[in-house]
Structure 1
Amino acid sequence: MDEPTQPLMPYTPQPRRPRRRSRRVGELTAVSLLSAALATGGTWGAISLASDDSPGSGSTGTGTAATASGSGTADAQPVSSAAKQSPDWNAVTSTVAPSVVAIGVRGESTGGEGSGVVLDDEGHVVTNNHVVSGAGDNAKITVTLDGGATYAATVEGTDPSTDLAVITITDPPNDLHPISVGSSAGLTVGDPVMAVGNPLGLAGTVTTGIVSALDRPVATSAQEEQQQQGSPFAQRQESQSSPVVTSAIQTSAAVNPGNSGGALVDASGRLVGINSSIASVGSSGGQSGSIGIGFAIPADEVTWIAEQLIENGTAEHAFLGVTPQDGQATEGAATHSGAEITSVSEGSPAASAGLETGDLVTGIDDSPVASAESLVGLIHARRIDSSVALTVIRDGQERTIDVTLGTAPSSDA
């Protein structure tokens, strides 16, 4: 990998002197390249990597943006449509802050805190899987709203392979403020964005920046990083060694421990991503802070996964049916890097479309593919039954192969 990164790990509050007003604590630790939290299974159901050492890659989802449940406000325009040219961050903060919550998780001997985003009037909140899963199956989960009221919550569903989860507030109030959901597909590099969350116990913190990159491949095998960083959840996640591969939005908005699961919004106040990890220049121990390189799971992917978690408690993923590794191929005088196909599963969408062993995939639709994990992230972000155009180099010639993605088999299939 080109640069070390760190997943956002559960943040453990340290003892503090009494204050007149309590602070909600955030969640996130230093990590090496990519998104927060380990996951079991699902990512590799979409595509298997030939090598565990290949760097990551990602992509924004392609589904139509919508709220995860019927009572959200996806079509609302919370702030001026001209805000992109001259952002009114005061207005954005007033609009978005009531939709972002603090999440507390307490197990028998461990605990951590993070952020979440209200999806609908029914009390569904989307967050990172690693925020709610680290303290064990019987952990107590609480949600603290922007006004300070705290409620119990239960897990509606989790998807370790995308590091997403949905929890439900028990007996939610009638005045919840669901987030307005935008589309990450409309983002461009340089767009202004704001991160909203609860870093380091500082409730309701907002930071601003720009979209630094799109389709950034980010992959995390968090168990090792958690142990190195002294995460209280390290032992619980020892068995969760499968990497989480994300096609991430990279942002310069400061993201710190506690921002995990919080909102990344555009200048109109619409959700465009869920903050999940940070990059680090390397740390010998302890928790690392922002160096201006944060990563968020694109809203289109969040929407697609959250819809399934609310309906079924689990999520299915798109499936291509190949095993890739990092590779190169020449086309004329040019050398291209990409995902080299080492095997094609019989009866898979890849086989039906005519992909062959030895093909080098260099692009999906308008997104470049520079590595094996890039291919994994881009496919994983797509919806089942969606059609994609793969740019492939075969025998020194570039060609386009259209594929209709299938449904990934379960991890134990």
Structure 2
Amino acid sequence: MQRPVTTPAHGTQLPQTVAAGGYGTAAPPLPYGEQPLPAELPVPPQPYPQGGNGTDGGGFVPLPAVVGADAPLPPERPVPHHEASGEHGHLVPAHPGGAWQQYDPWSPPGRHGLAVPPPVRRARRGPLVVGAVLLALLAGGVGGTVGVYVERHGGPGDIILPQDDEAPRPRDPHSVAGIAQTALPGVVTLHVRGNAEQGTGTGFVLDTQGHILTNNHVVEPAGDGGEISVTFSGGQTAKARVVGRDSGYDLAVVQVDGVSGLHPLTLGNSDAVRVGDPVVAIGAPYDLANTVTAGIISAKQRPITAGGEKGDGSDVSYVDALQTDAPINPGNSGGPLVDGRARVIGINSAIRAADGSTPDGTTQGGSIGLGFAIPINQAKRVAEELINTGRATHPVIGVTLEMEYPGDGARVSGLAKDGRNPVTPGGPGAKAGIKGGDVITRLDGAPVHGGEELIVKIRSHRPGDTLTLTLRRGGKDRTVRLTLGSSGTG
């Protein structure tokens, strides 16, 4: 912004001049011997010459108060009758429109008539007008230049605050900035639209074939005829289709086609994570894409259940979660939780809300520093199954639990429900000798406090894994070993 520079309002004012000879020039002295008049004739006031203004503004140039315009006139004295009779001279009337002139008795005959003033020279306005215009243009140009300089650099009296002009430097790859720089190109924002609802979530690229991992509850609103749009960190968008999803793990894989330059994220080892390790969460909380927050792993193996809106338990997910204090909010769901080397160690899935509930990402509760992520070791297996077969398998022990059991541990139902045996015949539990009414108190030496916790711990394994269970039956403990089956076989 330029500051205005004051310039003359009507151009440059020309200098004031006085025309020569305009106030009654005295006649040259007369030869010696002529008789002067007894006294000087009175000199009436002399008017300013009219005309010759010499200005560009249409008015007159005021003349300076010089040339005796305000000086007092000499006192008059009586003129003798013989002098006034014209014997030796006569009064010379003023020339109309001209200046007054005094009679000189020493002037020769015939030369004491009217004095003709020299012609008044008019000022040459042409060069002065051009000069005024050029001067105004020059002043405007200089003023504009000065205004721009002052606007950008400040005037001599402006306060300039000190600022470090250090050039941008590379960030440590293990700093939050370095981690974000590495991971952001592989993180995407998902916009899902279905017949009845819509939502926003996060995902990340698994491979160069366009597979993207996210939460099941993020893509579930699309249903069978919905639409999923993927926006990459650089702003590119693409349509995506569901490859497979599983509500029990709250995981889903979608795929984009025809997109080049994909940046798959490196998967880490969630079993190697320790409490206190620094982590970074990346996602689109409240649809604010490419948001980066940082924290630590504040706990491991947190038994978290989410979902359950259907009421039949088919949409309940059981997660043996990583807990973090990195801020996670609705919209972060499905995004990566990465370690200090930008490797994915978890999938952000749930938060503990201030009212004590555990939303699945569809509520609007904000972060209170209790976020939960699905361990990547579990998610990797599920993602591979979804990509390869379109469905995921669940490890099972082949028993039905009493979820309302108030005591410590997970109790196997004592009575059959819906005509089914609480211990599946031929299943992993039956082979291990588990019976109805048994209470499972430990799994691989870790305490079990309820039915949901037992399911969560079992889901953290894969079918075929061997576990050691501690049972309490009739007030006595016993230990059994079993091999996990899958939801398709047991």
- What's the TM-score once normalised by structure 2's chain length? 0.59
- 1:368 and 2:368 matched: no
Note if contact 2:242-2:254 (Cα within 8 Å) is conserved in structure 1: yes
Distance 1:101 1:240 in 2: 30
**Compared with structure 1, are the counterparts of its residues 293 and 95 closer, same or farther at alpha carbon in structure 2 (3 Å cutoff)?**
same
- The residue that corresponds to 2:116 in the other structure is none
Q: In the aligned structure 2, how far is the partner of 1:112 from the partner of 1:155? A: 15
Q: 1:101 to 1:364 in 2, by over 3 A?
A: same
Partner Cα separation in structure 2 for residue 91 and residue 409 of structure 1: 44
Residue aligning to 1:348: 427
Alignment pair present for 1:309 and 2:395: no
CA separation of 1:266/1:286 partners in 2, compared to 1, >3 Å: closer, same or farther? Answer: closer
Note if contact 2:438-2:472 (Cα within 8 Å) is conserved in structure 1.
yes
Q: Deviations over 1:372-413 (max 9, x none)?
A: 001111112211111112233334444432111111138xx9
Q: Secondary structure at the match of 1:212?
A: strand
Q: Cα 1:397–1:266, aligned 2, differ >3 Å: closer, same or farther? A: farther
Q: What does 1:13-412 align with in structure 2 at a 5 Å threshold? A: 88-173=175-260, 175-223=261-309, 242-282=315-355, 287-325=364-402, 337-342=408-413, 343-365=422-444, 367-409=446-488
Residue 397 and residue 190 in structure 1: after superposition, are their counterparts in 2 closer, same or farther (change >3 A)? farther
Structure 2 spans left out of the alignment, 5+ residues: 1-170, 414-421
Q: Which amino acid aligns with 2:225?
A: N
Partner of 2:109: none
C-alpha distance in structure 2 between counterparts of 1:153 and 1:194, whole Å: 26
Report the Cα distance in structure 1 between the residues aligned to 2:289 and 2:305, rounded to whole angstroms: 28
Q: Is residue 247–residue 316 contact of structure 2 (8 Å, CA) maintained in 1? A: no
**Deviations 1:192-217 (Å, cap 9, x if unpaired)?**
21111111122111111122222211
Q: Which has the higher strand share?
A: 1
Deviations 1:301-352 (A, max 9, x none): 10011001001111111111112236587xxxxxxx2112223221110111
Distance in 1, Cα, partners of 2:206 & 2:402 = 37
Higher relative contact order at CA 8 Å, sep ≥6: structure 1 or structure 2?
A: 1
1:367 positional shift: 3.8
| d(CA) in 2 for partners of 1:242, 1:154 | 21
> Cα 1:184–1:363, aligned 2, differ >3 Å: closer, same or farther?
farther
Aligned equivalents of 1:242, 1:132: Cα separation in 2: 13
Moved over 6 A (4+): 237-240, 283-286
- The Cα of 1:281 is off from its aligned counterpart by 2.2
Provide the rounded CA distance (Å) in 2 between the counterparts of 1:221 and 1:309.
20
Q: Which residue identity is paired with 1:167?
A: V
Report the 3-state secondary structure (helix = DSSP H, G, I; strand = E; otherwise coil) of the residue aligned with 2:253: strand
* Cα distance change, pair 366–186 in 1 and its aligned pair in 2 (3 A): farther
- Return the letter of the residue paired with 2:480: I
2:231 partner amino acid: T
- Measured at CA, do residues 318 and 195 of structure 1 come closer, stay the same or move farther in structure 2, by a change above 3 Å? same
Other structure's SS at 2:222 match: coil
- Structure 2 residue matching 1:105: 3-state secondary structure: strand
User: Structure 1 residue 240: deviation in Å?
Assistant: 7.3
| Structure-2 change in CA distance of 1:321 and 1:241 (3 Å) | closer
Aligned residues of 1:328 and 1:340 also touching (Cα < 8 A): no
Aligned 8 A contact 2:247 2:315 in 1: no
Contact 1:154/1:170 (8 A) holds in 2: no
Q: Distance in 1 between matches of 2:273 and 2:437?
A: 34
RMSD over aligned Cα, in angstroms? 2.6
Supply the distance in 1 between the matched residues of 2:183 and 2:350 (Cα, whole angstroms). 21
Q: 1:286 to 1:328 in 2, by over 3 A?
A: closer
TM-score, scaled relative to structure 1: 0.69
Query: More displaced, 209-218 or 310-319?
Result: 209-218
- How many residues matched? 307
* Identity in percent: 43
Q: 1:401 and 1:146 mapped to 2: Cα distance? A: 50
* Distance in 2 (alpha carbons) for counterparts of 1:139 and 1:149: 21
Letter of the 1:141 partner, please give it. I
1:203-262 Cα shifts (integer Å, max 9, x gaps): 111111122222211112442xxxxxxxxxxxxx68876422221111111100110100
Counterpart residue identity of residue 368, structure 2 = I
Answer whether contact 2:330 2:363 (CA < 8 A) is retained: no
SS in 2 for 1:179: coil
Q: Does the Cα contact within 8 Å between 2:295 and 2:327 map onto a contact in 1?
A: yes
Superposition deviation, residue 128 in structure 1: 0.6
Q: Which residue of 2 aligns with 1:20?
A: none
